[in-house]
Amino acid sequence: MEVVKTTPEELLKGYKERIESLLFNGNSNDKVKGLYEPIEYLLQIGGKRLRPCMVLAGCEGIGGNPEDALHAALAIEVFHNFSLMHDDIMDDAPLRRGEVTVHEKWNANAAILSGDAMLVQAYQYLAKSSPQHLPKLLTLFNTTAIEVCEGQQLDMEFETRTDVEIEEYMEMIRLKTSVLLAASIQMGMIIGGASEEQHLLGYEFGLEAGLAFQLQDDYLDAFGDPTKFGKQIGGDILSDKKTHLYLTCRANASSSQLAQLDKWVGKTASPQEKIEEVKALFVETGAANVLQEQMRFHYDKALSALSKLKLTDEGKQLFNFLAELVHIRNV
Amino acid sequence: MEVVKTTPEELLKGYKERIESLLFNGNSNDKVKGLYEPIEYLLQIGGKRLRPCMVLAGCEGIGGNPEDALHAALAIEVFHNFSLMHDDIMDDAPLRRGEVTVHEKWNANAAILSGDAMLVQAYQYLAKSSPQHLPKLLTLFNTTAIEVCEGQQLDMEFETRTDVEIEEYMEMIRLKTSVLLAASIQMGMIIGGASEEQHLLGYEFGLEAGLAFQLQDDYLDAFGDPTKFGKQIGGDILSDKKTHLYLTCRANASSSQLAQLDKWVGKTASPQEKIEEVKALFVETGAANVLQEQMRFHYDKALSALSKLKLTDEGKQLFNFLAELVHIRNV
């Protein structure tokens, strides 16, 4: 067996640096600085660049040259940031990655229009792909982009609905989060020359890993290690967010448990007590267990797709590393 | 000479019907109706469908089959309506074509997100173009879409600026209005098989005609026939809009004329008197004459590009008819 010299961590670090070296060289018109400043601001705030790394990983993992996938990777990252800029207006979010959001730093109109320009810029990057792959990439990108809009629509609708089913929640996170991760890998694999069967498996891996990833985020919000989890523990509970835990808890609760849960909905006083009592209900109703089963279910499906992928040795290491990110050992 | 049986009016009417028959069959997901209802609402309000008709006219005028250009035409019309949906939020406009705007009928978030989905839908239509033309069409569409965003940015900036130059105003209307008309014709001609020299001339015709069209709109707002002009006469004057007339008037005014103009800025009382006095200043300072000269200048440039276009006989009639739309005989 060939000795693999580059570790997955090193590969991903290299991808991230390569992406960031190009990300800030987008087209810009000096006469219209006001349009481009919010774009540059949001892009330089940073982030893990997970999605564009998945594009390059998909391409190199299948044996292609990751340089060929750079434009597609930039398209994905700029699209992702467009969606953040607009979501933050809709969610009235004051902060993004610890920094002031664009609509707060400028105003809502600036965030609308600069976001629009970002969506077009994403297509400008995509248009630089080789003509051979362009029709397939464009169709996949379009489908995914519409689905991300649909996911955000469902997420907004859920805020005011009281009858959200678990199946609807899963559909929402599939659309809002997972399809973009899935399409990132698939686009990379298409550019890397994968067969249709192979790049569809790449999509499936990304989709299932993405679902596990989002469910893990729900789980960690309540039960994570405060020293490791990036956000405040219990944030979803305090904002009465209709997460997987919350919805399963409601569905499984006895009438007395339901009364206990309802007592806390909408309350902002005694936050620490609220978090502890609601977490206890998540455990008592079995919601925490159900969520762990679901995470395991999607993690296993991701591994099953992965086992059918014909990857290079380095690709295997890299994809196993990505899969491990959604496999929590402490649950 | 061949007898031309179909008049330009008949051709355009046929184009409009064909476009509208397809426009309401966009993709839609029943589970996410809330995303698609605002889109269908805005599209069915109507409008002249001028831009998609220009796509089909460009294609057929150069000898192509307009059916081949339908997807590109739909892309242009959906893009145009996306920009209207978002502009109306930014401009806080209560009405669009006499009907309640989307952000008023629903809310700003709905208009942001459904607008985003429309922009993606425009690319979905475009992606259905033949792979042979796709790279060229996509690049042109992207450049144009970014320019339209830049035009809206400048337009918003002008509202609060007091030092707008005529050249900047011309650049703003070029970006906000003309490039989309120009790209519409060029895209049709590319699909119709035109040489690069020819489809660039088509762009030039559309650009110059578009500039004349926008200047005409400025002119008619002040001096149009109230029985023919669709909007209220003097609307720009009442809202102190920095139009070509207004900017030239300021630039050419004597100090006493400037004082007279400034007296009215920001005033909402005595609207009829305001309109009459400001119109008189537009005439006395020569601004009305300068505008007529500018319209003639761009109209002539459009005709010059038209004279170099190798069109079918029907195409010649059609393009002359389109040129006449921006040629006001009564000025």
Taking 3-state DSSP, the helix, strand and coil percentages for chain B, each rounded to the nearest 5, stand at: 75, 0, 25
| B152: pLDDT strictly greater than 70 | yes
CB atoms within 10 A of CB B163: 6
Residues 6+ apart with CB under 8 A from A186: A58, A140, A199, A200, A202, A203, A206
Percentage of the residues of chain A whose pLDDT score is greater than 90: 86
Does domain A8-325 fall into CATH 3.90.1580.10? Answer: no
CA of B154 vs chain A CAs: smallest distance (Å): 7
- For B43-67, write each residue's pLDDT tens digit: 999 889 999 999 999 999 999 999 9
Q: Judge: B27–A116 Cβ closer than 8 Å, yes or no.
A: no
Place of tokens 């806390």: A264
Q: Which helix (H) or strand (E) holds A313?
A: helix A313-325
CA atoms in the 13 A half-sphere facing the CB of B138: 32
A121 touches chain B (CB under 8 A): yes
For the purposes of burial, counting CB atoms within 10 Å of the CB of B181, is it exposed (0-12), middle (13-18) or buried (19 or more)? buried
CA-to-CA separations, A194 to A11, A58, A59, A276, B300, in angstroms, rounded: 20, 9, 8, 49, 54
HSE, side-chain direction, 13 A CA sphere, residue A124: 19
SS3 B99: strand
Query: Distance between CA atoms of B202 and B307, rounded to whole angstroms?
Result: 11
Q: Looking at A2-6, A288-292, B243-247, which range is the least confident one?
A: A2-6
Say yes or no to pLDDT of A143 above 80. yes
Mean pLDDT value of segment A72-101: 96
Nearest 5°: the CA angle A168, A148, A82 is: 145
Establish if B325 touches chain A: CB-CB under 8 angstroms.
Answer: no
Of A121, A15, A17, the C-alpha closest to A69 is A15
Q: What CA–CA distances, in Å, run from B317 to A242, B3, B205?
A: 61, 12, 15
Nearest CA in chain B to A34: B153
- Hey, are the CB atoms on B124 and A142 less than 8 Å from each other? yes
Q: A31 and B120 in contact by Cβ < 8 A?
A: no
CB atoms within 10 A of CB A268: 9
pLDDT digits (tens, 9 = 90+) for A197-207: 999 999 999 99
Predicted confidence at residue A229, as pLDDT, reads: 67
- B44 burial (CB, 10 Å; 0-12 / 13-18 / 19+) is exposed
Of A240, A190, A215, nearest in space to A301 by CA: A215
How far is A206 from A200, CA to CA, in rounded Å? 10
A99: three-class secondary structure by DSSP: strand
Measured distance CA(B26)–CA(A211) in Å, rounded: 29
B8-324 homologous superfamily: Farnesyl Diphosphate Synthase (1.10.600.10)
Look at residues A258, A31, A280, A265 and name the one whose alpha carbon lies nearest to residue B147.
A31
pLDDT > 90 fraction of chain B, expressed in percent and rounded: 86
Which residues from B are below 8 Å from A112, CB to CB? 86, 89-90, 112
Cβ(B99)–Cβ(B107) under 8 Å?
Answer: no
Q: Is the pLDDT of residue B29 over 90?
A: no
pLDDT of B229:
67
Confidence at residue A151, expressed as pLDDT on a 0 to 100 scale:
97
ipTM, two decimals, is 0.94
Chain A residues 128-157 with a CB less than 8 Å from chain B: 131, 134-135, 138-139, 142, 145-146, 149-150, 152-154, 156-157
Q: Helix or strand or coil: residue B292?
A: helix
